[in-house]
Structure 1
Amino acid sequence: MYKKKNNIGLLYIVPTPIGNLLDITYRSVNILKKVDFIITENIKHTSILLNQFSIINKLLSLNTINEKKKTNQYINILKNGNNIAIVSKAGTPIINDPGYILVKHAYYNNIRVVPLPGACAAITALCASGLKANQFCYEGFLPNKKKKCEKKIYSLRKEKRTIILYESPKRLIHTVQLIKKIIGATRKITISKEITKKWENIQRGTAEQLLLIISNDIYWKKGEITIIIEGDKKNNTKTISSQALKIFNIIKKETNNTTAIKITKKICGLNKNVLYNKIIKENIL
């Protein structure tokens, strides 16, 4: 554990397994044993984990209902010199779980925040998706209301990065139907269910193909679901008219290429980068 500064406690962010209990790190177990208190989203669920690793500690509650009320109380506990670890029901805390307000207030009060690495369903599913993982966006859970959900998916239709979503099994079929309708039937997606558990299931294909799999299988009616959607591959570069290219060719005979591009841009009202990329592609330079 890190040393306290000015006798103020430290706030540890401790990930817990998303399924397989063996995925917890040695460091996480060590921290959970040594801190003065453990803040958890679900006391009953966390107690099972602590018992598994013979961890005896005081558990405090922090959920979406009491987060604002409890935050000041826990900040005072930290300021009195106590070390606290925050955990979620499963996975890395704060991401789609309570704790953001506590961490923010910890910084306001010059309390050191110490994050530990560990399990995260979004990243674990992304690694196994077979889709590009060098650039991605995490959107969490889609809105519950139908119109807002459709609007959100529509806003993602041209997203070029790989998209990560969480979804409940009850809404899974409807969500994949919306992906098929709005984003496209041939867009590749991966659906991961119960990652790291013994009944883990990862299915990859187009939205249309996966609908055939999940629609007739009651197995997909339960469990934790992560959806990974391939980014848009369409080339959205604006077309450059032959007239604009003709103007560019005339101007470049009298000056350098950079200046010719700038002048052509002003005459034709084009984006400089779009014009440049088009010229490079056509090997005009």
Structure 2
Amino acid sequence: MSSSDIFTSEVLGTMLLVLLGGGVCAAVNLKRSKAFEAGWVAVAFGWGFAVLTGAYVAQSSGAHLNPAVTLALAIKGDTPWGDVPVYMGSELLGAMIGAVLVWLAYYSQFQVTLREPDAAEMKDANPGQVHGVFFTSPEVRKPLLNFLTELIATFVLIIAILTQGLVKDADGSVGLGRMGALITALVVVGIGLSLGGPTGYAINPVRDLGPRIIHAVLPLPNKGGSDWSYAWVPVVGPLAGAAIAAGVYNLAWG
């Protein structure tokens, strides 16, 4: 597969992932949205469907959509290490584009939410009032424990992805083919419902970093800070969880 093919597929797939995932966060959190205060279950299923959509669109590149997945597949031996920078760079760019599209789609709702009197009072907050649309932050700020939560949650995601290749179909072929995207999406829903409470379950470095960068540069009134002191947790935690999951896979089934 050429680098250009990887780039196109991963940018588009990750863009849709963040557009739909960030979109459900905007729908639930921003005032004057018809889904305002729909709740955590809506967010968890919204992100699952976002993964499903992005994965189907990006099938030609293997639908990594996540540097943690790319790292794990490289450690497993399924992805050449030389392709890793292309995958990760494409995923970050796609995530940033997706975040911009969320802003455009919910432009009016951002304006209403951030121009209210209480928003002006919170303009120096870090993280800011609408941060949840763009990036994660913990309910209880304990960075090492937050890191551990992201590691555990990503371990679940990656081991579920890697072990799909152990299943044989009725015709004897190995792997779940297109069903893999659906199964992975359901795993993401399960992670959100079970392990998402402490940190908001980034489980994907670019899903958090890309939109965080966009939040920092967008001309949003009274948006508050982008919480860069916490940004390492949803980047390093998922990568560590992916590396451990790939190591466990290689030891157990490699």
Superposition TM-score tier, normalisation by shorter sequence: under 0.3
Q: Which structure would you say has the larger Rg?
A: 1
Q: Which has the higher strand share?
A: 1
Which structure would you say has the larger RCO, counting Cα contacts within 8 Å and 6 or more residues apart?
Answer: 2
TM-score, reference length from structure 2: 0.20
Q: Which has the higher helix share?
A: 2
What TM-score does the superposition give when structure 1 sets the normalisation length? Answer: 0.18
